[in-house]
Structure 1
Amino acid sequence: MTSLEMALEYIKINNVKFLRFQFVDIHGEPKNIAYPVKLGTADGEEELMGVLENGLFFDGSSIAGFVEIEDSDMVLKPDLSTLSVLPWRPSEKSVARIICDVYKKNGKPFEGDPRGCLKRVLAEFKEEFKGEYFVGPEPEFFILKNQDGKWVPGDDAGYFELEPLDEGNDLRRNIVFALENLGFHVEASHHEVAPGQHEVDFKYDNAVKTADSVITFKTTIKTLAKQSGVLATFMPKPFYGMSGSGMHCNQSIWLDGKPSFYDENNAHQLSDICLSYIGGILEHTNALVSITNPTVNSYKRLVPGYEAPVNVAWANSNRSAIIRVPAARGKGTRVEFRAPDPACNPYLAFTVMLAAGLDGVRRKLIAPEPVEKNIFAMSEADKREANIGSVPSNLYDAIEELKQNKVLKKALGDHIFNQFIEIKTKECDAYRTAVTDWEFNKYVRI
């Protein structure tokens, strides 16, 4: 939709009875207010046009990372281009959602809105470089079934398996159909490495649209899984001894309307801008993972031994480095940052990845030589000699890195930066003081 009139016509044609005004909190968890559409009368149509143009007021004090109760009045202003009917709701009296930006009551953008944060950084990038930022994420997830009151993997299949071993094939098909109805360009779907683990890939786009898509993607999958009597989880490491779920992020920047990562005459056919971008990501990786891997569980995935992206290095085809440059060249030249997991807030994750890469571009950082041998097979001594570090081993240490990082602080803004650190520090403390089943069983007889 590009106008109020087009949005109104869409709502009428699709017999929309409820319009969900959707946004996310600091964790990237979607929230919404359901507005009942009252067409058929002049007053009802006028009221709908008013909320589409001016937004809805809401209480922001109960939203994680937003505001205190004494300053809680906020406004959801809809982005008309995101209006879409939800394909899993009844079609006769349909439900649509529209993604919103969060504003303060004085009409200014709210600095704690994750979507607004990404849009601000992109606007600065466009003004400084005439730049555009594109991201293509690969979020993995598990389908779980309830067995004797316990959630277990939905099947015993492995990588690229077919039915009957792959018991999620029908659900993945329904997911693909639903995503396509929501405007996704789905490129592939398949069973992943671990039992019950799956992946559905969709085409890259500009960073805001892609972040919107990640939120819609997760909501769609969880909803359709529940309707099928199973549970979909984007938890990074739901089971010990199995591979975890990542969200590799392929990214590229275009400058002045042209792709900037390819140079046929340069080393590896990568431009100086691309190599500097890689250098920026590598320099800021230890702080980046606090945002791209934001839960204590994230660091159960980021451990050696499971082909996890823990090695702070880059390579071309080598998947044992935290950054990989896939083989495609020309317009398809891109940088794949392999650390992120699907528990992250995509708006904030894309914000800090871009900020880190652009810091490298501005400073003309020189990326180290690529590591083309299997880092997983290298000894710790060999990795030290090659100057290959590792990401922090827990969320607390990652947060400590974030606290010292001025580049990421500027990108996030004071509000999100401080709120995120406060919330995640409390999360770390709660985890640190909790007594787990493993501890109880290990030590109860002492």
Structure 2
Amino acid sequence: MDRNELLSILKQSDDQRIKIAVVDIDGVLRGKILRKDKFLNVLESSSGFCDVIFGWDVVDVAYDNAKVTGWHTGYPDTNYTIDINTFRKIPWDENIPFFLGDFSQTNHPACPRSLLKKVINKAKKMDLTPIFSEEFEWFNFDETPDSLHDKGGVNPKPLTPGMFGYSVLRSSQKSDYFNDLFTLLEEYRIPLEGLHTETGPGVYEAAIQYTDILEAADRAVLFKAAVKEIASKHGVMASFMAKWNAELPGCSGHIHQSLWKNGQNLFADNKDEYKMSPIFKSYIAGQLDALPEILPMFAPTINSFKRLVEGAWAPTTLTWGLDNRTTALRVLASGGGSTRLETRVPGSDVNPYLAMAAALAAGLYGIENNLKLSIKPTIGNGYEDKSNGTLPPDLKSATDKMKSSSLAKSLFGDDFVDHFCRTREWEHRQFAASVTDWEIKRYFEII
């Protein structure tokens, strides 16, 4: 749809509401409804959005260590622009028109979508077209915000009991919700390749159809928000925490990726023993090289690291393998158009813009520097293959490593790395200052 066609549709509509949103550093949609005439003015130029959205955390507590905005700047408005290519109508909410915006025209160092666009521009200069998709696992609960609040925010009741991976039975027992997810997401321009139950009580998995990387990231961000909204219509709470229960598997946000040129998948090479092209091998080498230094972009929360443990379907080592689900990087190499890399480090709690920016930037770094994939593919248990090293074990150590990384700064710029690492340091401090149920149970009586 071109600009004139879009304007015609909006002007002819009787609906005076337009919903717009931007995305904060944690991947949370921050938005509002605008009157149509106000929106049309914004579309023609730009408008201001209070930059507190980059000055507070996921629960709206203001950072005390931020530089880009804060009490010291007065939290001013910062200009954002609307991307007309993100136009959708929200089918579960009276078909209200919806658009995403970003801060790329003002080059705001804290805007995740703007950062991804910068990395995409680098790929374009290399004459490469990144094709990406993300898949998510998430748990569903028989709760409402009020019922969970009444429980003190703990012990949510799963939507269904038991371990029922790929279960036709469980999905049919909640078919109204399950079918609405597939159908309404399609209408919302988030087509799914597949939707099924995963192993665990009330857990689903969805694979979003692949497309160019910016649209893939938009779909991934909107998928998480949309699922929560659709779930609410059914009296369900959907959670994208990486690990909500220590006894159950965590939730992944695996990223699938390939590079194309002139309609050809540049990762495929039928003549190679692994059916992998040299550019594909350099791309993997770049990710393996960068992973320890940019890990917070894949694992952004304290909880992220509860998922990254041995034997829990999430990687802990710097490994790659051919169709191996125990390695950090899983290569799917048919030699044809479906040849791709699956980066298995991200959990479902990621900000898709940052995770995709990290994956692509690291891969391009490998290609630019003609890095050689010197390590062999891991065969068997990737948790036991520590020959190339392991991932940092927690958010603090991962953030410390990224903060001092010249590679991270070269990939994403000093200002982004500084701001992002400050937000992760804040996140660690909030956790370190809290008293948990574990501590009370362990120490209250006996110590």
User: 1:140 touches 1:245 (CA, 8 Å); kept in 2?
Assistant: yes
Question: What do the CA deviations read for 1:269-290 (whole angstroms, capped 9, x no partner)?
Answer: 1011111111111111112321
Question: What do the CA deviations read for 1:154-209 (whole angstroms, capped 9, x no partner)?
Answer: 11241111235764443121011111111222211100111111012121111111
Match of 1:251 in 2: 257
CA distance in 1, matches of 2:52, 2:266: 42
CA distance in 2, matches of 1:184, 1:257: 23
CA distance in 2, matches of 1:317, 1:63: 39
Please give the secondary structure, in 2, of the residue aligned with 1:371. coil
CA distance in 1, matches of 2:205, 2:10: 32
Please give the secondary structure, in 2, of the residue aligned with 1:58. strand
Question: What do the CA deviations read for 1:40-86 (whole angstroms, capped 9, x no partner)?
Answer: xxxx5xx5532211122222134337634347231221111111111
CA distance in 2, matches of 1:400, 1:121: 23
Alignment pair present for 1:85 and 2:89: yes
Please give the secondary structure, in 2, of the residue aligned with 1:57. strand
Question: What do the CA deviations read for 1:189-230 (whole angstroms, capped 9, x no partner)?
Answer: 100111111012121111111111111101110001112112
User: 2:276 touches 2:333 (CA, 8 Å); kept in 1?
Assistant: no
Offset, 1:338: 0.4
User: 1:323 touches 1:336 (CA, 8 Å); kept in 2?
Assistant: yes
Inter-CA distance 160–60: structure 2 relative to 1 (3 Å threshold): same
Please give the secondary structure, in 1, of the residue aligned with 2:5. helix
Matched AA of 1:87? P
User: 1:155 touches 1:165 (CA, 8 Å); kept in 2?
Assistant: no
Offset, 1:388: 4.2
User: 2:23 touches 2:102 (CA, 8 Å); kept in 1?
Assistant: no
Match of 2:62 in 1: none
Inter-CA distance 442–117: structure 2 relative to 1 (3 Å threshold): same
Match of 2:142 in 1: 145
Offset, 1:152: 2.2
Inter-CA distance 165–57: structure 2 relative to 1 (3 Å threshold): closer
User: 1:356 touches 1:407 (CA, 8 Å); kept in 2?
Assistant: no
User: 1:355 touches 1:408 (CA, 8 Å); kept in 2?
Assistant: no
Alignment of 1:407-446 (within 5 A): 407-445=407-445, 446=447
Match of 2:127 in 1: 130
User: 1:102 touches 1:116 (CA, 8 Å); kept in 2?
Assistant: yes
Offset, 1:327: 4.3
User: 1:26 touches 1:64 (CA, 8 Å); kept in 2?
Assistant: no
Offset, 1:256: 5.7
Inter-CA distance 70–320: structure 2 relative to 1 (3 Å threshold): same
Please give the secondary structure, in 1, of the residue aligned with 2:103. strand
CA distance in 2, matches of 1:196, 1:185: 22
Alignment pair present for 1:313 and 2:316: no
Question: What do the CA deviations read for 1:134-165 (whole angstroms, capped 9, x no partner)?
Answer: 21111111101238944122112411112357
Offset, 1:19: 0.8
CA distance in 2, matches of 1:2, 1:16: 20
Matched AA of 2:80? L
CA distance in 1, matches of 2:300, 2:218: 19
Matched AA of 1:33? K
User: 1:188 touches 1:202 (CA, 8 Å); kept in 2?
Assistant: yes
CA distance in 2, matches of 1:195, 1:355: 36
Q: Which runs of 5+ in 2 are unaligned?
A: 57-67
Instruction: Give the CA RMSD over aligned residues.
Output: 2.1
Inter-CA distance 279–258: structure 2 relative to 1 (3 Å threshold): same
1:74 pairs, out of 52, 75, 78, with 78
1:61 pairs, out of 33, 52, 72, with 52
User: 1:355 touches 1:407 (CA, 8 Å); kept in 2?
Assistant: no
Please give the secondary structure, in 2, of the residue aligned with 1:325. strand
Offset, 1:116: 1.1
Alignment of 1:266-415 (within 5 A): 266-367=272-373, 368-376=375-383, 378=384, 383-384=385-386, 387-415=387-415
- Higher mean C-alpha displacement, 70-79 vs 221-230: 70-79
Please, what TM-score do these two structures have when normalized by structure 1?
0.89
Please give the secondary structure, in 2, of the residue aligned with 1:16. coil
Please give the secondary structure, in 2, of the residue aligned with 1:332. coil
Offset, 1:109: 3.2
Please, what TM-score do these two structures have when normalized by structure 2?
0.89
Inter-CA distance 71–428: structure 2 relative to 1 (3 Å threshold): closer
User: 1:131 touches 1:257 (CA, 8 Å); kept in 2?
Assistant: no
User: 1:351 touches 1:411 (CA, 8 Å); kept in 2?
Assistant: no
User: 2:88 touches 2:98 (CA, 8 Å); kept in 1?
Assistant: yes
Question: What do the CA deviations read for 1:5-58 (whole angstroms, capped 9, x no partner)?
Answer: 212222245543211221111111111131112xxxxxx5xx553221112222
Matched AA of 2:21? Q
Match of 1:29 in 2: 28
Identity within the alignment, %: 28
User: 2:254 touches 2:345 (CA, 8 Å); kept in 1?
Assistant: yes
Please give the secondary structure, in 2, of the residue aligned with 1:421. helix
User: 1:21 touches 1:76 (CA, 8 Å); kept in 2?
Assistant: no
User: 1:142 touches 1:234 (CA, 8 Å); kept in 2?
Assistant: yes
CA distance in 1, matches of 2:171, 2:110: 45
1:155 pairs, out of 157, 160, 163, with 160
